[in-house]
Amino acid sequence: MTQIDTSVPHSARIWNYWLGGKDNYPVDEAAGDAYTAVFPGIVTIARSSRAFLGRSIRYLVQVAGVRQFLDVGTGLPTVDNTHEVAQRLAPESRVVYVDNDPLVLTHARALLTSTPEGATAYEPVSLYEPEQILEAAGKTLDLTRPTALILSGILGHVADYEQARDLVRRLLAGLPPGSHLSLNEGSRGTDPAYEQAQDAYNETGAVPYFLRPVEQIEAFFEGLELVEPGVVSVPLWHPEPGAPTGPIGQHGGLGRKP
Ligand SMILES: C[S@@+](CC[C@H](N)C(=O)[O-])C[C@H]1O[C@@H](n2cnc3c(N)ncnc32)[C@H](O)[C@@H]1O
């Protein structure tokens, strides 16, 4: 596990900055501002991604009847964290957060709470250790029961696409039929400025994040039954009445393991 390094920008902290949070350092603010100077749309993308996550959890609880959540690549606590959305609707929901950033760990200990009926846990494990993630999650979740795997803005950190797919397959392999995958990732092909800003970000020394073609994001759901409307630009997935629905470079969806 690496220590907190405030000399290079970091994914979770920049994301927190764009989401309007305070858990970031000047180096993150500078990298975040350099990014928005090239592509201001990233702020909408970050917020739309969180909004999609919230709507997908609501669907999982209210329509799919899921009560267990495994959120890998948690990020820093923000408004409407996974357990808050799920437990507001079903207080008995059990949630395991996984992230490998030491700063996320520090904040998670202080901020992640639970209803008395449910449970919330945090496991500092890397995405690159999927079997270890499942073993750690099994301390809090009953992995013989349907569980929602959440991968929100993390797979772009895995440079090799086939490796990223393999990690998703190995995580899903440990979950029973009726489990779901809620996934959303930055996509290529919507705005060249987005790709330019991301390329520049990837040169800052931060862990790089790679935007992917929509077809590659779709293929993460291989073997799953996609919930309508499939993999789409996130504002278009079960939009709130009156919410902006223009397509943006963040695609996602929800799939069910048959
Ligand atoms: C862009 S943030 C997304 C946060 C949150 N899921 C959301 O959608 O708002 C990416 C998160 O993935 C985490 N992450 C990156 N690589 C990871 C790895 N190998 N193992 C676990 N977490 C990782 C980062 O620490 C960061 O918190």
**Burial track 62-89 (b if 16+ CB lie within 10 A, e otherwise):** eebebbbbbbbbbbbbbeebbbbbbbee
Q: What is the pLDDT of residue 1?
A: 43
Considering only CA atoms, which residue is closest to atom 4 of ligand 1? Answer: 75
In-domain check, residue 2:
no
**Helix spans in 23-126 (H):** 26-38, 42-62, 82-89, 102-111
Contact 99, 74 (CB under 8 A): yes
pLDDT of residue 176: 98
Which residues neighbour 127 within 8 Å (Cβ) at sequence distance 6 or greater? Answer: 72, 73, 98, 100, 133, 154, 157, 158, 167
Choice between 169 and 190, residue whose per-residue pLDDT is larger? 169
Mean pLDDT, residues 11-30? 89
Is the model more confident about 248 or about 79?
Answer: 248
Q: Which amino acid is at 136?
A: A
Element (H, E) at 70: strand 68-72
Task: Establish if 4 belongs to a structural domain.
Answer: no
Whether 153 is covered by a domain: the verdict is yes
Give per-residue pLDDT as tens, 194-210: 999 999 999 988 889 99
pLDDT digits (tens, 9 = 90+) for 63-87: 999 999 999 999 988 888 999 999 9
Q: What is the CATH number of the domain that holds 158?
A: 3.40.50.150
How far does residue 256's CA lie from ligand 1's centre (Å)? 23
Question: In a mutational test of the pocket of ligand 1, which residue from 72, 84, 157 has the highest number of ligand atoms less than 8 Å from its CB?
Answer: 157
Q: Name the DSSP class of 236.
A: G
With DSSP H G I counted as helix, E B as strand and the rest as coil, what are the percentages for the chain, rounded to 5? 40, 15, 45
pLDDT of residue 111: 66
pLDDT > 90: percent of the chain: 79
Work out the angle at residue 213's Cα, subtended by the Cα atoms of residues 240 and 203, and round it to the nearest 5 degrees: 105
Residue 242 falls inside a structural domain: no
Strand partners, 233: 251
Q: What angle do CA 186, 84, 164 make, to 5 degrees?
A: 30
Model confidence at 3: pLDDT above 70: no
Does residue 222 surpass a pLDDT of 90?
A: yes
The 10s digit of each residue's pLDDT in 28-58 is: 999 999 999 999 999 999 999 999 999 999 9
The response to whether residue 125 sits with its C-beta less than 6 Å from ligand 1 reads: no
Predicted TM-score (pTM) above 0.85: yes
What whole-number percentage of the chain has pLDDT above 70?
98
Distance 189 CA to ligand 1 centre (A): 23
Residue 49 lies in a domain: yes
Residue 155 binned pLDDT confidence (cut-offs 50, 70, 90): very high
Closest CA to 93 of 72, 70, 109: 70
The mean pLDDT of the chain is: 93
Q: Please give the residue range of the domain that contains residue 183.
A: 11-237+248-256
In this predicted structure, the answer to whether residue 2 has a pLDDT above a threshold of 60 is no
Q: For 5, list phi and psi in degrees, rounded to 5.
A: -115, 115
Protein residue whose Cα sits closest to atom 14 of ligand 1: 73
Q: Is the CB of 24 under 6 A from ligand 1?
A: no
Query: Is 44 close to ligand 1, i.e. is its CB under 6 Å away?
Result: no
Domain assignment present for residue 232? The answer is yes
What are the angstrom distances between the C-alpha of 81 and each of 52, 222, 242? Answer: 12, 27, 23
**pLDDT score for 217:** 98
Query: Does some domain include residue 194?
Result: yes
Report the separation in Å between the CA atom of 153 and the middle of ligand 1, taken as the mean of its atom positions: 7
Which residues lie below 8 Å from residue 5, measured CB to CB, with a gap of 6+? Answer: none
Answer for the pair 186, 249: CB distance below 8 angstroms, yes or no: yes
Length of the chain, please?
258
Chain segment 89-117, per-residue pLDDT in tens: 999 999 999 999 888 888 887 667 899 99
Residue 3 lies in a domain: no
For residue 19, what are its two tokens?
């989401």
pLDDT reading at 6 higher than 80: no
132 lines ligand 1 (CB under 6 A): no
Number of domains, the chain: 1
